[in-house]
């Protein structure tokens, strides 16, 4: 039976939560002596916001109770002490807590069924199931990453670069190769609106071979626009649904936010690192970058095809601008 939870969802990733807990003086870690947000902020020299985020995360784990003044629960106090000296014992306490809390059970079941979940999908599941009013993709990412990191820490799944996997992750780039243009992505999303579709029906409607469509849908999932709740069936996330109802300007804004919040940000960061002052971005430089990051050896035609798709994303989002002889990253 799931234990009663306060309705909070974890906000901090487990590494950050543990880092802050280790700084709190032991006299505050008590099941009888109350403390305030200000007490902790002053004691460890951090902002009130940081402490509030910690408290919300600890409440989501039933480690802390209270409103204006707070107390550690027994599991919370034990965890907060053990995380300093005996991480394995602390993990055991946290694992026991996650086994009692419904939203962890929901994510675990989804992970078992699908094998992997993006942090956008985890965040979107919380929105749908618990009525959370999260519209910013970075918010979905934050909460999704917090849940994924906690499960990873307790040994349920493997979390890295925005994806929680049931099995051990592979080395290299996690997000799939850019298989499709923005225009095709939007076309897929329009076809999935409003109720989703079986992949064979979607393939027929879009006149796309099913295997290729599956690859294209994997990109839509990595961007946080599409979810895959069961075998062969795809549907839009809340952000995906919003995009289909938006103007062109809002579509571009939403797409850009998701691109910069996804695993593809790694490609943009690497591109920025490799460019010198007068370097231009071309299909050749983009193709070489994709081949390097994905650790693959493609034919020149294949490499150029993927480069064209990714350049299409960068142009649509306004991340690059056209110059003579190629493109340049837009200066913020």
pLDDT (tens digit, 9 = 90+) per residue, 85-123? 898 899 999 999 999 999 999 999 989 888 889 898 899
pLDDT at residue 273 greater than cutoff 90: no
pLDDT (tens digit, 9 = 90+) per residue, 167-194? 765 555 678 999 999 999 999 999 999 9
Mean pLDDT value across the chain: 89
Q: Would you put residue 126 in left (φ > 0), alpha (ψ -120 to 50) or beta?
A: alpha
pLDDT (tens digit, 9 = 90+) per residue, 233-256? 999 999 999 999 999 999 999 999
Q: What is the pLDDT of residue 1?
A: 38
Q: What is the pLDDT of residue 169?
A: 53
Query: Could you give the 3-state DSSP secondary structure of residue 328?
Result: strand
Instruction: Give the per-residue SS3 of 274-303.
Output: HCCCCCCECHHHHHHHHHHHCCCCCCHHHH
pLDDT at residue 6 greater than cutoff 60: no
User: Which pTM value belongs to this model?
Assistant: 0.57
Q: What is the pLDDT of residue 132?
A: 83
Question: How is residue 59 written in tokens?
Answer: 């409440």
pLDDT at residue 266 greater than cutoff 60: yes
Residue 83 pLDDT class (50, 70, 90 cuts): very high
Average pLDDT over residues 56-71: 93
Residue 131 pLDDT class (50, 70, 90 cuts): confident
Average pLDDT over residues 134-148: 87
């Amino acid at each position: 039976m799931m234990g009663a939870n306060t309705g909070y969802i974890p906000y901090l990733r487990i590494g950050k939560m543990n880092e802050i807990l280790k700084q709190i003086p032991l006299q505050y870690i008590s099941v009888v002596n109350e403390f305030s947000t200000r007490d902790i902020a002053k004691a460890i020299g951090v902002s009130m916001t940081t402490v509030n985020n910690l408290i919300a995360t600890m409440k989501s784990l039933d480690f802390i109770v209270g409103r204006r003044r707070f107390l550690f629960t027994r599991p919370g106090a034990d965890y907060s002490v053990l995380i300093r000296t005996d991480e394995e014992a602390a993990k055991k306490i946290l694992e026991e807590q996650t086994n009692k809390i419904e939203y962890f059970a929901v994510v675990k079941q989804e992970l078992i069924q699908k094998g992997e979940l993006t942090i956008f999908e985890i965040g979107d599941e919380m929105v749908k199931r618990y009525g959370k009013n999260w519209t910013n993709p970075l918010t979905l990412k934050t909460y999704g990453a917090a849940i994924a990191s906690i499960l990873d820490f307790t040994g349920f799944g493997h979390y890295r670069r925005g994806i929680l996997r049931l099995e051990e992750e592979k080395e290299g780039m996690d997000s799939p190769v850019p298989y499709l243009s923005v225009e095709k992505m939007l076309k897929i999303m329009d076809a999935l609106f409003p109720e989703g579709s079986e992949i064979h029906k979607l393939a027929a409607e879009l006149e796309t071979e099913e295997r290729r469509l599956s690859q294209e849908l994997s990109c839509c999932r990595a961007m946080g626009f599409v979810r895959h709740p069961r075998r062969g069936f795809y549907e839009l996330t809340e952000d995906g649904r919003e995009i289909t109802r938006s103007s062109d300007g809002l579509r571009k804004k939403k797409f850009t936010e998701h691109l910069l919040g996804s695993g593809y940000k790694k490609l943009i960061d690497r591109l920025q690192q490799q460019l010198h002052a007068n370097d231009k971005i071309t299909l050749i430089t983009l193709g070489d970058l994709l081949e390097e990051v994905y650790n693959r050896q493609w034919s020149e035609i294949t490499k150029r095809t993927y480069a064209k798709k990714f350049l299409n994303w960068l142009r649509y989002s306004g991340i690059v601008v056209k110059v003579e002889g190629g493109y340049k990253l837009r200066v913020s």
